[in-house]
Amino acid sequence: MRLGVSATLVDGTLIDGDVTIDGDSVTAVGVAGGRGHGVAVPGFVDAHINGIAGVDFMTADAGGHAHAAEALAAAGVVAYQPTLVSSPPEAYDEPLAEAAAAMSKPGGAARIVGVHLEGPFLSERWPGAHDPAHLLTPDPALADRLCNAGPVTTVTLAPELGGGLELVERLTRRGVRVSVGHSDADAATSHAAFDRGACAITHVHNAHRRWRARDPGPAGVALVRPDVWVQAIVDGVHLAPESALGTFLAAGGRFCLVTDAVEAAGMPPGRYRLADRVVHVHDGAVRLADGTLAGSVLTMDAAVRNLVSLGIGLPQAVHAAAKAPARSLGRDDLGVLRPGVAANIAVLDDELEVERTVVNGREAFAAR
């Protein structure tokens, strides 16, 4: 089939013409003829999302996962990692099982590529919106049990905690990606964590030791290491424009857009939940009752528009929303659009709004 676009973003370059798809694969780009409109770009990958459209991934059942996948496709997302926040150990079993079941079912909407455990091995000094009562010191047996209970692909942890560096190595050996976050690690400990296999920083400049001139902490280390992916929430709330732009300029191709969205994303202002915590949405921000930021209502297409509004070119912004997060998860089958690859595509209009999303060659969303 022909996608019906006027241009395609291929390896960072805009090519005039249409895209053709056969089965689940792209067969050609730059196809002449027709009166297409919109730009085809690699479909977005959200590596850190707690919920969307009234669905919280800690409590989602099969119907909730299906609804969330449809809502994500409407934002141009083709693949994502549901995030489970710090909770009592026994509370993870059901959401991990539900995520595994949803992951195993073929569908036409955005697909799960694994689960992100954000905690419970986090610093009590930087809990963010996580309930301090659920935070634990690194426990290899518990980490193994959780990873065996479901498709865990990423764990955010604080490496400075007792046993933290050893847990980084243990998780990395079993193929789990480790991200440093909710951490009070100094530069030396951050370097040690990345040397031992950690490969990312979770929502940079938020909920971790602050960057100071003589104490750069996890952010300072992540920004200068070419082997570390830098995740950022570009919603105008978590980062000032200068902070977002400066971080992008420093990280370059390692800059990864994430949403950290909660179930309130796509919903009206009001009261919602993040796992077992009550959160309040007002003026585009999600907060606990004490004012602490608690995720976001950001979508990936809005994150791309926000990055472009800072002066970043569309190819670079799309890279940050697609290829960079895919590579941060070790996936080379996502975040690309060229002949011979799986057809995972978002079509953007002149305002960078999503017109259409294709997942593995099947239409997952069409604006009508």
Catalytic residues, by residue number, are: 260
Two tokens, residue 172: 């990395």
Q: Tokens 């955005």 — which residue?
A: 110
Strands 177-180, 200-201: parallel, antiparallel or unpaired by DSSP? parallel
> What type of residue sits at position 342?
A
**What single-letter DSSP state applies at residue 326?**
H
Two tokens, residue 39: 């730009």
- Closest of 35, 20, 4, 1 to residue 337, by C-alpha: 20
Rounded CA separation 311/305 (Å)? 10
User: How many helices (H) does the chain have, and how many strands (E)?
Assistant: 10, 22
- Give φ, ψ of 282 to 5 degrees: -155, 135
Using DSSP, state whether 96 is helix, strand or coil.
helix
Rounded CA separation 252/313 (Å)? 12
- Closest of 75, 8, 68, 80 to residue 42, by C-alpha: 8
Rounded CA separation 225/46 (Å)? 22
Q: Tokens 């480790």 — which residue?
A: 178
Query: Is-contact 39 14, C-beta < 8 A?
Result: yes
Q: What's the distance, Cα to Cα, between the start and end of the chain in Å?
A: 19
> What type of residue sits at position 282?
H
H, E, C per residue of 210-244: CCECCECHHHHHHHHCCCCEEEECCCCCCCCHHHH
